Chains A and B, each alone.
Chain A
């Protein structure tokens, strides 16, 4: 292959005079982590609340949350992002639009991405929380209620702590998905890790080095998260339940 390798490219000053290429890469990583964590917080909070509601007795609330889940997980992520970034602002009053457009563009970009990723993922987490609750035998809930716990306390002290232990592995995958999905932000011009990678490869023409570096960074971060979650899973294990026998 007739390619001119130059791994030193990251330490060279950028062609635009804004620091070195490594600074672009790190700034991209920073945005990726910031977007992922913020979206994750939204997804986990909304997803948990909705997951609980989906297992409650009331039929109408169950249906409403069901509709929410289907809406957010059935529309492609990219379409949702364009809706949040381009369409939703157009529905606002004109002076709000004017104010928003005058802000630093990153406000709108980050806001749209975090909202989009957070809500999209919350629909998926909702289903996992529900599965975690429903995976427990009916006796669990009845026993807690028989002990005199209120419904709220039953969820708080008996069902949810167990449910979260059960769903740690799929939640880990979900977090890794948020992390990787955050690359959709580049389609609305936010220079997160993949966006910056494309920038560097365009401006320096050292395409393979840049994408290999980005691949390694993604892999390293996701791998560290997987390991951390596995440790968490082990330390939270309750003997006698899911996978608990080995401790």
Chain B
């Protein structure tokens, strides 16, 4: 163990001398990663198809594939031969505190890049655009948001969908009864057990939930998208050196077509755990994002 560590440190030092000589002194996350030889990646556990456990309890997904490539870019930038990747599961509640207290260095899951969160953390280039829509059972009679008046509707607690739905309820006096389920899985169970007529969420999440359903053919997604949001990787704010490495790699992946390949792998091919094909073609908004990478929040 000690010997291994010694070699590891020696390798790290050698690499450091090799590359640092020409570069400015490292700061922030880059310094932490270099010194510790480890980068901690925050991931989600059940956010299909972005970041979740497959049948072998391995973290997989669109966001996870991106995260791994970003790790490679950090490793190359620091000139390291060896970089340990520490995978840390996070939830909606823990992702921001864990970034702030240095437990996680980079969080890639289904985190919306918005102005409230920008007060606390920084965001990479956006990597996905979603619209918030409705999931409902075939024959439920729900085709768009006005049909929800006076009905029970479920959302995942703390999501933008909940915010938008509550705003709509207040503004239009729709008398909806909104159930704030603990997470996406719980929200879908609430819908499946008929405690709500519809589940409002990011369309990509809803496709993921359908893929887990007992009978995927019973469900469909409907309604006019109420808001568009962008997903990005979270990092500590005011760390421009680290952000530049991440953003450059993200832009590179988008321009080279690598990102579109990852997209197809998760949205147009069979995915674990049940080999369902989500079948969501790459939309115009996403094509625009890939053509012009940016980190601007939509909310």
Contacts and interface: CB of A to CB of B under 8 A. Distances in A.
B288 interface: no
B96 A207 contact: yes
Interface in A12-43: 15-18
B152 interface: yes
A65 interface: no
A101 B195 contact: yes
Given A16-B170, A105-B152, A202-B92, A186 B182 contact: yes
Interface stretch (B34-42, B185-193, B276-284): B185-193
Contacts of A106: 177
B180 A199 contact: yes
B179 A198 contact: no
A105 B158 contact: no
B171 A1 contact: no
Interface in A152-191: 186-189, 191
A26 B181 CA distance: 20
B167 A16 contact: yes
A189 B152 CA distance: 12
Contacts of A189: 154, 157, 179-182, 186, 190
Contacts of B27: none
Interface in B115-158: 116-117, 119-120, 152, 154, 157-158
* Interface size bracket, B side: 35 or more
A90 to B, nearest CB: 7
Interface of B is mostly: mixed
Interface in B237-260: 237-238
Contact of B158 (A101, A102, A108, A198): A198
A24 B178 CA distance: 15
Given A86-B189, A186-B182, A189-B179, A202 B93 contact: yes
Contacts of A241: none
Contact of B157 (A89, A108, A195, A208): A195
Contacts of B93: 198, 201-202, 207
A105 B195 contact: yes
A112 to B, nearest CB: 11
A205 interface: yes
B57 interface: no
A234 B179 CA distance: 45
Contacts of B186: 187-189
A9 to B, nearest CB: 11
Interface string A197-211: 011011111011000
A17 B167 CA distance: 6
Contacts of A16: 162-163, 166-167, 170
B101 interface: yes
A64 B170 CA distance: 51
A105 B177 contact: yes
A204 B116 contact: yes
A79 to B, nearest CB: 14
Contact of A191 (B117, B170, B180): B180
27 contacts: A1-B100, A2-B237, A15-B116, A16-B170, A17-B166, A17-B171, A18-B170, A86-B189, A89-B193, A97-B194, A101-B152, A101-B195, A105-B152, A105-B196, A187-B186, A188-B182, A189-B154, A189-B179, A191-B157, A191-B180, A195-B180, A198-B158, A201-B158, A202-B92, A203-B158, A205-B96, A205-B120
Interface of B: 92-93, 96-97, 100-101, 116-117, 119-120, 152, 154, 157-159, 162-163, 166-167, 170-171, 177, 179-182, 186, 189-190, 193-196, 236-238
Interface of A: 1-4, 15-18, 86, 89-90, 97, 101-102, 104-106, 108, 186-189, 191, 195, 198-199, 201-205, 207-208
Closest 5 pairs between A and B when the two form their complex, measured CB to CB? A202-B158, A16-B166, A17-B170, A205-B116, A189-B179
